[in-house]
Amino acid sequence: MSKSVKLLPRPPVKEAADWMEYAQAQGGLQFLRPRGLDLPFYQLYCLDIMLLAFLILAAALFVTRSLIKLVMRSFSETTKKEKVN
């Protein structure tokens, strides 16, 4: 590996310096920046998706709880009617 590095036409330090100069001449190559740096905080951490999932889960739990109460109430009414008879 040492031989292959020594056979390079330019030393690695010179190559890195050339690439840095190229990037600076091109205006910093802004198109290579990650898009995540431009996202708002709530989108970057998926807070909008988590809120939607929480609301769906809460609605499902509310409906389930209401159905269970309704079924329990109907069973208790039928047992009361049987005790009266």
Banded model confidence at residue 42, pLDDT cuts 50, 70, 90: very high
Which residue ranges make up each domain of the chain?
1-33, 34-85
Q: 11 by DSSP, 3-state: which?
A: coil
Going by pLDDT thresholds of 50, 70 and 90, the confidence category of residue 85 is: low
pTM: 0.56
| pLDDT value at residue 84 | 65
Note the pLDDT of residue 20.
86
